[in-house]
Structures are given as C-alpha cells and as structure tokens.
A and B are shown apart, each in its own frame.
Chain A
Amino acid sequence: QSVLTQPPSVSAAPGQKVTISCSGSSFNIGNNYVSWYQQLPGTAPKLLIYDNNKRPSGIPDRFSGSKSGTSATLGITGLQTGDEAEYYCGTWDSSLSVRFVFGTGTQVTVL
C-alpha cells in the first residue's frame, strides 16, 4: 500500500491537457522534492520531472510539474498518442524509516 495516492486513470482527446495528482503527507511530499516517471508499455520507467518542476534534457515542455503543500501535480499538454503510458510520482519518506516511495500509478489514455 503506497503512501502516495494517484488517480488510477485519466484520459483526454489528442491535443488536450491532462493533470495527474499525487497526494502525500508532511513525511514525504511536504518536506521533500518530487520526481515523476513515465513507463511506456513493456519498457523501463523514464524520468520526466525532477525537483518538483524541472525537466531533464530531451523532455518536451508539454510536460510540467508543480508542488503545493503535501501534493504534487504532473501536467501534460498537447496530448499525443505516444503519451499513453503509466505515470508515477516519487519522493523520499521518513514516516517509519528512511525510504523512497512511489505513487500508486496513473494510466493515461488518449481517446
């Protein structure tokens, strides 16, 4: 059972925008930076966003991240069929012992 909660799925038509929420607590998101990962079907996860809102080189600016309090959000604009994937948030957590935690994952479907 993950301590970071994401919606199981979101969907939109090509060209539209989706947002994915990641809800945590003061033990994790509230006091740590958040990263986001994209996992295309059958492939290894890939870093999309780090330090809450920074994009690695090669990641288009259609992808954006933000954080407020104990929640983080990933936004995808100009949705493309190639964006269909599972998306995970992640951050360090210190509620029990020091550990890194991933969100429950969100499936993005392009209608």
Chain B
Amino acid sequence: EVQLVESGGGLVQPGGSLRLSCAASGFTFTNFGMSWIRQAPGKGLEWVSYISSNNSTMYHADSVKGRFTISRDSAKNSLYLQMNSLRAEDTALYYCARATTDTGGGSWFAPWGQGTLVTVSS
C-alpha cells in the first residue's frame, strides 16, 4: 500500500524555523516527483513546493520563495521541507503528495498524506 506520513509540525514563533518530514512507503520513491501542499484553517489548497524524482528540478511558490526549501533523501525514502523566517500566514496543515507526470506532460498528485499542522504564533 502506498503511504505518506508527515511529521515535524508544531507551534513556532514568528521568525522561527521548522523542518517537516514525509516518510514514503509502498512505491519506488526514486521514480516519482514529490510536492508539499498546504491548507490554512478554513481555506483552500495552496501548492508550496515541488521536487523532481532525480532532484534536478525544484519549484517553490512565490509566497515561500527564499524562505522554504524542499529536499529529498532517497536512501531514507523521505521528503523534507525546511521552513525559515516563518510568518503567521504560514499557519496551515501541510500535506505531502506524490507527483506523477506522464509522457504527455500531464501531472497530478496522488496519494496525499494526512498532513502535519504548523502554527506560527507568539
């Protein structure tokens, strides 16, 4: 069974840092890109970051560019999100999701983990 389990969320003060982790199992991790997607309380989905299967390509949303960094460790089948200079508006449930891109160029996210909650508050 394909499974993604996030961890590392918690309460952090504005300006602080946090590192999220996502443990992947049930599939060949090195064959897939991965993404982080967040959802603020009562709000819609916001894509945060993407990393390709071979680490060669990374994209970040403008709202987190320069503050967040996505990375992956194939030896540990894990995805990470290093979050620095956190702001109140970064408060959200952070999901990791497996990204599939087909030869025709379409891409989609499935499955998603259950999420880890990040709260930025003093």
Binding site for B on A (CB under 8 A): 2, 32-33, 35, 37, 39, 44-47, 50-52, 56, 86, 88, 90, 92, 96-105
- From A33, A46, A52, residue with most partner B Cβ within 10 Å: A33
B59 to chain A, nearest CB (A): 5
Interface string of B56-96 (1 = CB under 8 A from A): 00010110010000000000000000000000000000010
Q: Could you jot down 27 A-B contacts, CB within 8 Å? A: A2-B44, A32-B105, A32-B106, A33-B106, A35-B107, A35-B108, A35-B109, A44-B111, A45-B37, A45-B95, A45-B109, A45-B112, A46-B111, A47-B109, A50-B108, A51-B108, A90-B45, A90-B109, A96-B62, A97-B59, A99-B61, A100-B35, A100-B50, A102-B45, A102-B46, A103-B44, A104-B44
What 14 new A-B contacts, CB under 8 Å, besides A37-B45, A47-B111, A56-B110? Answer: A32-B105, A44-B112, A45-B37, A46-B110, A50-B108, A51-B104, A51-B108, A52-B106, A86-B44, A88-B45, A90-B109, A97-B62, A100-B107, A105-B45
B61: A residues at CB distance < 8 A: 99
B46: A residues at CB distance < 8 A: 102
- Cross-chain contact B62 with A99 (CB below 8 angstroms): yes
Please report the C-alpha to C-alpha distance between residue A45 and residue B106 in the assembled complex, in whole angstroms. Answer: 19
- Cross-chain contact A44 with B45 (CB below 8 angstroms): no
B65: A residues at CB distance < 8 A: 97
B108: A residues at CB distance < 8 A: 33, 35, 47, 50-51, 90
